Amino acid sequence: MAALRFLYDCDPGADDALAMLLALGRPDALDMIAVTCVAGNVGLEPVVNNARRILELCGRQDIPVYSGAARPIMASRGRLSIMHGSDGLAGSALPAPTMPLASGHAANEISRIARAEGRLHICATGPLTNLALALLLDPDLPEFISAITIMGGAAFSPGNTTPLAEFNFAVDPHAAAIVFDSGIQITMLGLDVTRQATVTDEMIRQVQAIATPVAAEAARLLINYGSKDPCLHDPAAIAWMLKPDIFKTVQAHVSVCTDSGAASGQVVAAVSERHLSGRLPNCTIVTHVDAAEFRMLFAASLP
* Cα gap 159→176, rounded to integer Å: 15
Count of residues interacting with ligand RIB (CB under 6 A): 16
The answer to whether 22 contacts ligand RIB (rule: CB under 6 A) is no
* Cα gap 242→206, rounded to integer Å: 20
192 vs 234, which CB is nearer to ligand RIB?
Answer: 234
CA nearest to 69, candidates 174, 219, 145, 140: 174
CB of 139 to ligand RIB, least distance (A): 27
User: Sheet of 267-270: strands edge to edge?
Assistant: 65-66, 30-37, 4-10, 120-124, 145-151, 186-189, 283-289, 247-256, 267-270
Catalytic residue among 121, 174, 233, 253: 233
Task: Pick what 167 binds: ligand RIB, Ca ion, none; C-beta below 5 to 8 Å, kind-dependent.
Answer: ligand RIB
CA dihedral 49, 52, 58, 61 (to 10 degrees): -150
The one among 166, 172, 192, 217 contacting ligand RIB by CB under 6 A? 166
CB of 197 to ligand RIB, least distance (A): 11
Active-site residue, 233 included:
yes
Task: Pick what 166 binds: Ca ion, ligand RIB, none; C-beta below 5 to 8 Å, kind-dependent.
Answer: ligand RIB
The one among 126, 226, 235, 265 contacting ligand RIB by CB under 6 A? 126
CB 88 within 8 A of CB 41: yes
The one among 222, 234, 284, 301 contacting ligand RIB by CB under 6 A? 234
* Cα gap 88→95, rounded to integer Å: 14
Binding to ligand RIB (CB under 6 A) within 29-58 occurs at: 40-41
User: How many other CB atoms are there within 10 angstroms of residue 144's CB atom?
Assistant: 19
Which chain residues interact with ligand RIB by CB under 6 A? 11, 13, 15-16, 40-41, 81, 125-126, 151, 160, 166-168, 233-234
- Catalytic residue numbers, as ranges: 233
